[in-house]
Amino acid sequence: MKVTFLGSGTSQGIPFIGCPCPVCNSLNPRDNRLRSSVWIETPEASIVIDSGPDFRYQMLRAGVKKLDAIIFTHGHKDHVAGLDDIRPYNYFTNRPVAVYATEETQQALKREFSYIFTYPTYPGIPQIDLKTIFAYEPFDVNGLLVTPIRVLHYKMEVLGFRIGDFTYITDANYIAPEELDKARGSKALVLNALRHEPHISHYTLREAIDVAADVSANDSYFTHISHQLGLHDVVDSGLPEGMHLAYDGLVLEF
């Protein structure tokens, strides 16, 4: 299994529009962060977790020629806004893209992309095969067993996912012990770390470090990063052993 970080930034990305700070004006490409998403490849499947506003460019930049499925963590705009851009995959394969989402997230998709779900359909609209997932039930995507991990994003339930040795959790500020247990034994844990200062719905870097230390994966990677966290190289160099800042284009192989 191969995992590519398509984006590692928070909802507004880096650079933050109009910002004069050193991070937003850095020449280091690792300080340029699109909205958070990962691409998972196996011989049997090509899967993306979340399709945010940068989805089209992320697919082009990573060279994603085939897309079997999108799995959604939740329905916030920075995680769903690019769904319309699956249309080329519909065109070249002449089939729908499987979309895995909870009923709550499906309601968000139906609000944002009502034209996808209207009947009769209009020529050229995105073609999806909508599949309902449940927070307590593992599910299969093209032979991959995906285990949901329930987390809280302030008061909103969001799903992280465990796929083999890889665990991906974003937009969390609380994970119950029994849910965190699902991540134990991972070779790689991905966790959101927004900034240093407390935030109402995201882990700070210190909080993310503490959670990662508790899980004790072989390696931990922090994502969903804002410009307030600081320069990539400075922050990354100060992290505990086995912990890293993710960056756009980072590839993990299992």
DSSP letters spanning 108-172: HHHHHTGGGS-SSPPTT---EEEEE--TT--EEETTEEEEEEEEEETTEEEEEEEETTEEEE-S-
Domains of the chain as residue ranges with CATH: 2-253 (3.60.15.10)
Q: Which of 37, 36, 45 is nearest to 1 (CA)?
A: 45
Tell me how far apart the terminal alpha carbons of the chain are, to the nearest angstrom. Answer: 5
Write out pLDDT tens, residues 21-58.
999 999 999 999 999 999 999 999 999 999 999 999 99
Average pLDDT of 7-34? 98
Average pLDDT of 81-94? 97
The DSSP secondary-structure symbol of 36 reads P
In angstroms, rounded to a whole number, what is the distance separating the alpha carbons of residues 221 and 187? 11
Catalogue the E-assigned strands of 46-125. Answer: 46-49, 69-71, 97-101
Length of the chain equals 254
Q: Is the pLDDT of residue 223 over 90?
A: yes
- The torsion angle over the Cα atoms of residues 247, 158, 89 and 225, rounded to 10 degrees, is -20
The count of C-alpha atoms lying within 13 angstroms of the C-alpha of 199, restricted to the half-sphere facing its C-beta, is 26
Residue where the block lists tokens 């299994």? 1
Average pLDDT of 108-132? 94
Residue 119: predicted pLDDT: 85
Contact 8, 27 (CB under 8 A): no
In angstroms, rounded to a whole number, what is the distance separating the alpha carbons of residues 37 and 49? 6
Q: Is the pLDDT of residue 59 over 90?
A: yes
φ/ψ of residue 81, rounded to 5: -65, -20
Residue 66: predicted pLDDT: 96
Q: Is the pLDDT of residue 120 over 90?
A: no
3-state DSSP assignment of residue 216: coil
Full-prediction pTM beyond 0.85? yes
Q: Rg of the chain's alpha carbons, rounded to an integer? A: 17
Residue where the block lists tokens 């939740």? 74
